[in-house]
Amino acid sequence: VAFGHLGNYVKQKSLLQRALAIQQRELPPDHPTTARTLVSLAEALGHLGKYEQQKWLLQRALALQLASTPSHPSIAVTLSGLAVAFGHLGDYAQQKSMLQLALAIQKRAFSSGHPVIAITLCNLAEAFERLGDYEGQKLLLQRALYVAERTVPLDHATIVSTLSSLAVAVGRLGDGEQMKSLLLRASSIIERAFSPDHHQTFALGRRLLSDH
């Protein structure tokens, strides 16, 4: 974990592979610890651009989790990781499917009022965008914004990124006024949290100018 935080994913991968070999030798085949190590190793491989291997390890982890703890919220984490892998591999239909399953688990585990649900809704909206379903993308981002505004501080990065993504979605659907309004909200949050010349404020300002 420490090497991962330091950006040394090669070393992180090496240590996790050693840990996995020990766990597979010493623990029962469906032990939850082995699943957690597989997920961590998959994350390291994802950082290294090894998306096929990442997918394969996460599928192994998911099979173990379903066998040992079929209703545990950690399964949603594995499904979200699989969605990332499928997204990198260009399989957006599978990305969408994994995120829909993750969202269903999170809703059962946390009810609808949890920040992680807003994040999953945003990720699912991205999959809809890649599949060309812009109306679906917009609706998911509206739901994500509703959840985020009730579960995180109003100057939280999740709200800023959701407002920005929603602005792009409504702009693509031809609603320029709504796009401008959402970008102004996002820009005003960044200005309050940082400064008028912060790079994110500048980027949003450029987007506003480019559309008018």
pLDDT recorded at residue 209: 41
**Region of residue 125 (phi > 0: left; psi between -120 and 50: alpha; otherwise: beta):** alpha
pLDDT digits (tens, 9 = 90+) for 86-140: 999 999 999 999 999 999 999 999 876 899 999 999 999 999 999 999 999 999 9
The amino acid at 197: D
Rounded to an integer, what distance in angstroms lies between the CA atom of residue 186 and that of residue 201?
8
pTM higher than the cut 0.75: yes
pLDDT digits (tens, 9 = 90+) for 25-77: 999 988 999 999 999 999 999 999 999 999 999 999 999 999 988 889 999 99
Q: What is the pLDDT of residues 195-210, one digit of tens each?
A: 555 555 445 555 554 5
Return d(Cα 168, Cα 126) in angstroms, integer. 11
192: buried, middle or exposed (CB in 10 Å: 19+, 13-18, 0-12)?
exposed
What's the pLDDT score for residue 202?
A: 46
pLDDT band at residue 7, thresholds of 50, 70 and 90?
confident
- Contact of 45 with 72, CB cutoff 8 Å: no
Count of C-beta atoms within a 10 Å radius of residue 29: 10
Residues 6+ apart with CB under 8 A from 193: 155
pLDDT category, 212, cuts 50, 70, 90?
A: very low
> Can you tell me the distance from the alpha carbon of 104 to that of 116, in angstroms, rounded to the nearest whole number?
12
Is the pLDDT score of 24 beyond 80? yes
- For residue 3, name the pLDDT band (cuts at 50, 70, 90): low
Sequence-ordered alpha helix ranges (H) in the chain:
2-5, 9-26, 32-47, 51-68, 74-88, 92-110, 115-130, 134-151, 157-172, 176-193, 199-210
How high is the pLDDT of residue 9? 87
Q: Give the residue from 33, 12, 15, 13 showing the smallest Cα distance to 23.
A: 33
Q: Which two tokens stand for residue 96?
A: 């969408």
For 110, 161, 171, the CA distances from 181, given in Å and listed in that order, are: 31, 14, 11
189 has pLDDT over 50: yes
pLDDT at 190: 85
Tokens of 134: 């812009």
Give per-residue pLDDT as tens, 126-157: 999 999 999 999 999 999 999 999 999 988 99
Model confidence at 16: pLDDT above 90: yes
| Mean pLDDT computed over 148-175 | 94
Give the span between the Cα atoms of 144 and 147, in whole angstroms: 5
What share of the chain in percent tops pLDDT 70?
A: 87
